[in-house]
A and B are shown apart, each in its own frame.
Chain A
């Protein structure tokens, strides 16, 4: 079953090549689309599978752009339309016309409609917001803190940077690592229990994009303070103001940035 998509990709490619040799752009187009779809699905053999949302997006782009490509030249475009015209208009293609227009296409439409409305036990897919917007100010154990322009006070004490990072490491391993993982890769022992999974900190695409005030707010307030648009129920991040003091959160933040090789965003 694993190899059905690579096999389909090869078939698609073969159709595309044969059609190109026989100067049949329509079948060339179909072959290319099959090869792309099956090729995208085959990637699961060498990496985690591509999400269906992305496969859909790529296929819509492929369908439209290759249609554009095959209609650039007048000659190619006419050749592209020829099989369609033949099926729809030629007298000797009546059986094929009935099979495609009156049987295959309605059945396909029915299948798509049925798949869309049939009940399913899997939760619906919805886009989530990776960086929910923080409020202008927050409270920390009753103390009001303005988030805008908030700086990590410990970073000013450069002489003790290593000490703070070391302290932050302890905080991380006592509180964060169960979900966010040993390697800061989002693969902690509890990670599989959550949807969406905890984000990783390695790489330049998560905390590197954020100012440190944001990280402080997110750690301190957890899921409870997420704005409604960000689906607070889509996060299991605890409110760490209930377990840690402000300095400990700043230390953990310093450790995460340091260990992932990133720096807080400053603009």
Chain B
């Protein structure tokens, strides 16, 4: 891949993009002429599975890839920058590996985007015509930015070796790539924001204020949420790639490198995910402030059960990452000193998980309903936000401690205040845990306004202050620490790598499910309250049907990602052969 010259690589990228886009437009033009005209309401019907499900699968798969190619460059450039400033070639290699991944994934993103581009105007012509009327100019800007993104992406990747002595310029290119990525995110969020929380149009849909159609309730919180989630997701895919390469590696050196890559990617993924509840909260507040019915439907109404599924999935992700970190202790000389603490962390994460998944509204049989009543006196208490926030925060705190233990397990502090430092650490953990628990219990005695508006932010702040304090304390306490031994990278059982893969699979499923909830919030509207969806499949499917479709998109995406991984390995082998002249 990288042996191709910059000019050739760039041309290849641009041609690929233009061919896919051109093929999309050509297909659109041809199919429009060939297919029967749409119904009076403005619909065509996709055979067998129906238009809604087809668009659902295509859009979600495209979005998964888009999240990947927009998320990975953020930390690839960060790694490259840190590697450049620290003079660490390993960081440069990992950044390059990340770049390989997203450059190849661009092709799939563009392909799925083209399928989407053809499908939506054909199946929903009236809706697209309205969207073009209101926000059409943003679509053309989007195409321009997309082309710029492709140019910079290919330039960034193919100039890696050529600009190795001009790293500043190369890092700048990476920054530019992320700038265009952010613009793309902002533009696509305009469309979703307008469809879900429309503004700037009259009741009949006539344009009143162009800026208001862009600056909707959802626009910025959704962009922020997607931005953070993209990093989490991209890093997750990179971790899965590393795990896959670890399992298939033949040499100890390769195993050591991919073990380290998996650890680094997973740490970024889970570390950044700490921000997601906060930005998700902001998005929720905006939805409620736009329309409380939509808020109720999302949080306590039709989608309530999907939040229980979300809890199961995120809880599983926390378990997988903790499991990975606990196993990792075995490769750290000195790690055995902490084996005893693992069981306590396990108990905290387990209890947190159990409380998080406990539903407030339980499916009861007739006899159970007679004996229990509408809500179980104990489980009902565990099913509300006061308990769940507390459980989630303490699970995350335990996860942070697992990470902290792993990082410091091969070191022995030598600062004179090490003993006092340990006491302080225990104090921070005790006070923050006690504080979070106290506020959680207090949450039962106050109004929803106080709980959500005051206590929950304090709980989250307490958590962030605690992990920041623990991080800084570790930093100073372990400065110049005696190293018991270097980590034995590569000496990990394979099951630890399956935990990394499981994290990615769960993330993908989670994104699909939350994407469905976000889109489903519009119910039977193309543009909520403005343009009704009169197609026969404009109904919300049951949670079971939705789960099946989300599973299909997840499998489809993972299959394509596996193909990306396989292609990279093939290309590497091909390059090796060319170098050795075989």
Contacts and interface: CB of A to CB of B under 8 A. Distances in A.
Nearest to B292: A211
Contact of A125 (B343, B363, B375, B453): B363
A204 B451 contact: yes
Nearest to B450: A263
B372 interface: yes
Interface stretch (A95-103, A110-118, A193-201, A238-246): A193-201
- Residue in A126, A197, A205, A211 with the greatest tally of chain B CB atoms within 10 Å: A205
A205 B293 contact: no
A226 to B, nearest CB: 10
Given A130-B304, A204-B451, A267-B288, A186 B293 contact: no
B368 interface: yes
B378 interface: yes
B372 A51 contact: yes
B327 interface: yes
A159 interface: no
Interface in A78-118: none
Contacts of A1: none
Nearest to B301: A133
A42 to B, nearest CB: 14
A148 B292 contact: yes
Contacts of A131: 296, 299-301, 304
- Residue in B292, B294, B346 with the greatest tally of chain A CB atoms within 10 Å: B292
A21 interface: no
Contacts of A23: none
Interface in A226-267: 227, 229-230, 262-263, 265-267
Contact of A214 (B296, B371, B444): B296
Contact of B319 (A65, A209, A267): A65
Nearest to A204: B444
Contact of A148 (B291, B304, B372): B291
Given A65-B350, A204-B384, A265 B449 contact: yes
Interface in A1-58: 47-54, 57-58
B580 interface: no
B371 A134 contact: no
A122 B354 CA distance: 28
A17 to B, nearest CB: 15
Interface in B382-408: 383-384, 386
B300 A52 contact: no
Interface residues of B, number: 70
- The main secondary structure of chain A at its interface with chain B is loop
A174 interface: no
Contact of B378 (A47, A213, A230): A47
Interface string B359-381: 11111111111111111111111
B301 A53 contact: no
Contacts of B369: 195-197
Given A136-B529, A208-B448, A54 B362 contact: yes
A182 interface: no
B373 A61 contact: no
Given A133-B296, A204-B444, A263-B449, A230 B377 contact: no
- Residue in A51, A58, A123 with the greatest tally of chain B CB atoms within 10 Å: A51
Given A129-B302, A132-B301, A186-B374, A53 B363 contact: yes
A71 interface: yes
Contacts of A61: 350, 353-354, 357
Given A133-B301, A186-B374, A74 B330 contact: yes
B358 interface: yes
Nearest to B451: A204
- Residue in A71, A72, A127, A133 with the greatest tally of chain B CB atoms within 10 Å: A72
Contact of A54 (B323, B327, B365, B379): B379
B293 A197 contact: no
A73 B372 contact: no
B380 A203 contact: yes
A63 interface: no
A68 interface: yes
Given A73-B339, A123-B366, A136-B293, A200 B301 contact: no
A48 B383 contact: no
A230 B288 contact: no
Given A187-B373, A199-B375, A209 B362 contact: no
A147 interface: yes
Contact of B293 (A57, A74, A135): A135
A171 B293 CA distance: 27
Interface of A: 47-54, 57-58, 61, 64-65, 68-69, 71-74, 77, 122-123, 125-136, 147-148, 186-187, 191-192, 195-200, 203-206, 208-211, 213-214, 227, 229-230, 262-263, 265-267
Given A48-B372, A50-B379, A209-B384, 15 more contacts: A49-B371, A51-B363, A54-B359, A57-B357, A64-B319, A125-B365, A127-B361, A127-B543, A130-B300, A192-B370, A197-B374, A204-B386, A204-B443, A263-B447, A267-B285
24 contacts: A49-B368, A50-B376, A61-B353, A72-B326, A74-B330, A122-B366, A122-B367, A131-B300, A131-B301, A134-B296, A147-B293, A187-B373, A195-B366, A196-B364, A200-B375, A203-B444, A204-B384, A205-B384, A210-B296, A262-B447, A263-B449, A265-B448, A267-B449, A267-B452
